[in-house]
A and B are shown apart, each in its own frame.
Chain A
Amino acid sequence: MINIKNIPELDRIHYDNNDGLRVGALVTIRDVMTSTVIQEKFPILVQAARKTAPPNIKNLATVGGNLCNASPAADMVPSLIVLGSKVKMVGLQGERSVALEEFFKVSGGTILEIDEILTEIQVPRAPPHTGGVYLELPARRIKKSVAVAITLDSEYELCTQVKIGLGAVAPTPIRAYKAEEVIRGKTVDEHLIKESAKIASEDCCAPLSDVWASGGYRREVVRVLTKRAIRQALALAKSDQMGG
């Protein structure tokens, strides 16, 4: 057993306007919640951190652990995905970075090799007129979560960029690419929001049916959460707030 918790470079939060945000793997969930720079620049991550665990666990749990545990329900993941985050891994062969959505294996676990550790999560600076929201159904056994980040053009008319991330609806956290296509490049109205949410629930996820809930119910939760999250992210983008 090798304890990596005393490597000081790994517990830092760093932000600058060029590189964006860099969060060390050992940064705790509580550190994310209380970081003034994250509160100001990426409030969607504060929303996600709040929902990650009870307070005592937040003092111990790390962002790196939340990712490397590779739970499809990990709270930090959908929000980090929609922000376009990359993860940096370091091993005997050197360094590499991949988009967070490529970090998880459908068969379980992560792409980390036996001699590698996750060292950093890199979050690019959010463009102007971006709104981001993280919503979840908090019920433990049937938890579902949706993160949405929307960027509008300078006229606040067209949706220039959108990412929708879903948690706990497939073997890994996923992007709802087809649902994004419905609103990307468009003037997003209520009709498109409903259409996008419908596609997220019908075409983008594969929820289980089990003793806790049916797959049909889980899809319905995805539809409702996606609809709400798009609406809220859009409102925040229009008011030029990243969301919070």
Chain B
Amino acid sequence: MEPRRTLLDVIRNDLRLTGTKEGCGTGDCGVCTVILDGKPVNSCLVLALEAKGKDVLTIEGLAKENKLHPLQETFIKCGAIQCGFCTPGMILTAKAFLDENPNPTEEDVKEAISGNLCRCTGYVKIIEAILTAAEELRKGEWHG
């Protein structure tokens, strides 16, 4: 493995998991977010070698047995997707956030996704989708 290669590059080009997007490549936009050992991180800022021995969750790993994660369901239901480019990163950031804070306020959600840019300006529906998913998850029926 070339030491300079990023986790993002390896996920997309070696593993061919293209659900993880590349936007700015400099940590500003958040579209490359993956969950590394339970924490959301910008995979463009992580060297692939740094992820050795760690648990990496990409958007492809979120659904279980063909059942979409509640966040994926509510993003669809709430129309929180326009072009879709920010969606994988947005959902993974929200997933890690709800794991930690299952009962958030709207302000908490805004803070949580403040590093994930949506250039379709669709934040209202994204926030609604995350709050709705939080409700769903609190029912405890999802075992992901």
Contacts and interface: CB of A to CB of B under 8 A. Distances in A.
Q: Do A and B come from one complex?
A: yes
B125 to A, nearest CB: 20
Contact of A55 (B27, B36, B111): B111
B4 A1 contact: yes
Interface size class on chain B is: 20 to 34
Interface stretch (B13-21, B43-51, B58-66, B78-86): B43-51
Interface string A22-66: 000000001000000000000000000000011111011000000
B50 A59 contact: no
B115 A57 contact: yes
A2 to B, nearest CB: 10
B42 interface: yes
Contacts, number: 41
A93 interface: no
A55 B50 contact: no
Given A1-B3, A1-B4, A56 B40 contact: yes
B115 A54 contact: yes
Chain B binding surface SS class: mixed
Given A3-B49, A54-B115, A60 B97 contact: no
B93 interface: yes
Contact of B30 (A1, A3, A30, A56): A56
Contact of B39 (A1, A53, A59): A59
Interface in B81-115: 93, 97, 111-112, 114-115
B116 interface: yes
B35 to A, nearest CB: 10
A141 interface: no
Interface string A192-234: 0000000000000000000000000000000000000000000
Interface in A54-112: 54-57, 59-60
Contacts of A59: 36, 39-41
B120 to A, nearest CB: 19
A60 B115 contact: no
Nearest to A59: B39
Contacts of B49: 3
Given A1-B3, A1-B4, A56 B93 contact: yes
Contacts of B72: none
A56 B38 CA distance: 11
Given A3-B47, A3-B50, A55 B115 contact: yes
B41 A60 contact: yes
Contacts of B111: 55
Given A3-B50, A54-B30, A60 B42 contact: yes
A233 to B, nearest CB: 25
A57 B45 CA distance: 9
Nearest to A28: B39
Contact of B97 (A1, A3, A55, A57): A55
Nearest to B115: A54
B50 A56 contact: no
A191 interface: no
A127 B120 CA distance: 51
B40 to A, nearest CB: 5
Interface of A: 1, 3, 5, 30, 53-57, 59-60
4 interchain residue pairs of minimum CB distance: A54-B115, A54-B114, A59-B39, A56-B115
